[in-house]
Amino acid sequence: MTTTEASPTNDAQTGPGYASPEAAMKAEREKLLYTVALYVGTEVEQPDYLATVDVDPDSPTYSEVVHRTVMPNRGDELHHFGWNICSSCHGDPSKSRRFLVIPGQRSSRIYIVDTKDERTPELHKVIEPEEIKEKTNLTAPHTTHCLSDKLIISMLGDGDGNGPGGFLTLDEHFNITGRWEAKTDPMRFNYDFWYQPRHNVMVSSEWASPSTYFPGFDLDDVKAGKYGQHIHFWDWEKHEIVQSFDLGEDGLLPLELRFHHNPDSTHGFVGAALSSNMWHWHKADGEWKVEKVIDVPSVEVEGWPIPMPSLITDLLISMDDRYLYFANWLHGDIRQYDISDPSHPKLTGQVWCGGLTGKAGEVKGKKLIGGPQMIQLSLDGKRLYVTSSLFSTWDNQFYPDMAKAGSFMLQIDCDSEKGGLAINQNFLVDFGKEPGGPARAHEMRYPGGDCTSDIWL
């Protein structure tokens, strides 16, 4: 299968995806954006839901939640989610990017949502945690990626919520087919993953076991070695780890990771949250190499026992592989780097939107409580969307006012030619004003696919 022969499509009902990253950048502007919104950890005793947000500036409901797909259970903690197929399936008329796979981090329940009507998605299927534990002995689902014939979901815990977790597989009808990995040695924890088929490689990162991070963050757990500091390179065909890197104290909590979109490239990045730095990897002379390329200095903040780290929580790479974006959840800034030379990123844009350093500001009269956390970039690279919730217990610990004030979604305008960032003052989704009560928004997805879910063959 090639990735450049077919024409691009932005039709989630009839087309499977984009033919290439270049074609994706030329796609029609996105008009809707999905985000999960949760009530876990608040006083609102209602289920989490999938919010459909209008991002069309010509629409009368611009920057409003226009539909809520409410889940049937409480306490799920919807977190990260993904599509049933991505651009690796382009050109197969039997495939359609129609279903969202939405796991609950706390409940280990997995929801399948049908987006045939993009504006008003409907619940299609529920995979209960008892079935998952029985068939795989895994819990705490996180990242979802598609293959041509199955889906893989990273699972952060075993049946008891301890490490190292593993990888759950679903067939195209969303039936559990088992575990993907042949063995987990030497992985201690699990979190995010990304694969690059042309190089027969998958890369995975480490957070901690659910039993450690569910209750909240404790610095003593870091000292006790209960948080990850490794990234792992897997043989994609053999499903085995072939090379691991211990990032040491300069690489504590390596979370989100991304390969270049160009399927011929071996370059990628991972952000170490607690160490507040960015690492670059690539393959040279048949071996994977890892190097630290960005440091975000900690700052002194009154009331903190240690200098406050920036806490890099999310990152992404623009579709043309030119810009790297990442969010500093505690400091409150989003950064844009030119990565034309991946080993020497150059800061080209920075904007402040929340955080604990006194630079939070307001948008449309709302004080920004919480820090920039999850980010999603438009396919043409001009609009970066950001939400502010990380994880319920961590939100309550570091931003206690968020439980009653709700979180926010902002639009950051990006200069994709010369570099630069600016908050769009006309766009604000205030999740503190939701009909059911203040909610907290996390990851985001476009109906037609996006630069954090599409993988090309």
Check: CB of residue 434 under 8 Å from CB of residue 440. no
DSSP lists the bridge partners of residue 87 as none
Q: What is the structure's pLDDT at 7?
A: 28
- Whole-angstrom CA distances from 215 to 66, 90, 212, 363, 397 are 33, 42, 7, 32, 10
| Cα–chain center distance at 86 | 15
Domain covering 21-445 assigned CATH 3.20.20.70 in the classification: no
Supply φ then ψ for residue 251, to 5 degrees: -140, 40
Check: CB of residue 203 under 8 Å from CB of residue 193. yes
What is the CA angle 134-194-451, rounded to 5?
Answer: 120
| Distance in angstroms (rounded) separating the CA atoms of residues 366 and 234 | 45
Quick check: 10 pLDDT over 60?
no
Q: What is the structure's pLDDT at 16?
A: 54
Check: CB of residue 192 under 8 Å from CB of residue 204. yes
Q: What single string gives the DSSP state of each residue in 215-226?
A: T---HHHHHTT-
Tokens describing residue 218: 């404790």
State the chain's mean pLDDT as an integer: 93
Structure confidence at residue 13 as a pLDDT band (50, 70, 90):
very low
| Distance in angstroms (rounded) separating the CA atoms of residues 144 and 49 | 18
How many other β-carbons are positioned within 10 Å of the β-carbon of residue 302? 5
- 317-344 pLDDT per residue, tens: 999 999 999 999 999 999 999 999 999 9
- 371-429 pLDDT per residue, tens: 999 999 999 999 999 999 999 999 999 999 999 999 999 999 999 999 999 999 999 99
Tokens describing residue 47: 């289920």
Return the CA Rg of the chain.
20
| Distance in angstroms (rounded) separating the CA atoms of residues 75 and 439 | 13
Quick check: 8 pLDDT over 60?
no
Alpha carbon dihedral 389, 368, 439, 159, in 10-degree steps, equals: 10
Measured over the CA atoms of residue 391, residue 396, residue 397 and residue 402, the dihedral's sign is: positive
What is the CA angle 247-251-253, rounded to 5?
Answer: 120
Helix and strand tally (H, E) in the chain? 6, 30
DSSP lists the bridge partners of residue 125 as 112
- Whole-angstrom CA distances from 67 to 61, 87, 303, 393, 457 are 11, 27, 41, 27, 34
Q: What are the structural domain ranges in the chain?
A: 21-445
Structure confidence at residue 277 as a pLDDT band (50, 70, 90):
very high
Q: What is the structure's pLDDT at 17?
A: 65
Q: Which helix (H) or strand (E) holds 25?
A: helix 21-25
What is the 3-state composition of the chain as percent helix, strand, coil, each rounded to the nearest 5? 10, 40, 50
Q: What is the structure's pLDDT at 4?
A: 27
Q: What is the per-residue burial (b if ≥16 Cβ within 10 Å, else e) of 101-136? A: bbbbbbbbbbbbbebeebeebeebeebebeebeeeb
Q: Is 297 exposed, middle or buried (0-12, 13-18, 19+ CB in 10 A)?
A: exposed
Q: What is the structure's pLDDT at 430?
A: 97
In Å, the largest CA–CA distance within the chain is: 58
Q: What is the structure's pLDDT at 12?
A: 33
Q: Which of 250, 329, 327 is nearest to 295 (CA)?
A: 250
Beta strands in 159-229 (DSSP E): 166-171, 176-179, 193-196, 201-204
Quick check: 87 pLDDT over 90?
no
- 188-242 pLDDT per residue, tens: 999 999 999 999 999 999 999 999 999 999 999 999 999 999 999 999 999 999 9
| Distance in angstroms (rounded) separating the CA atoms of residues 245 and 180 | 21
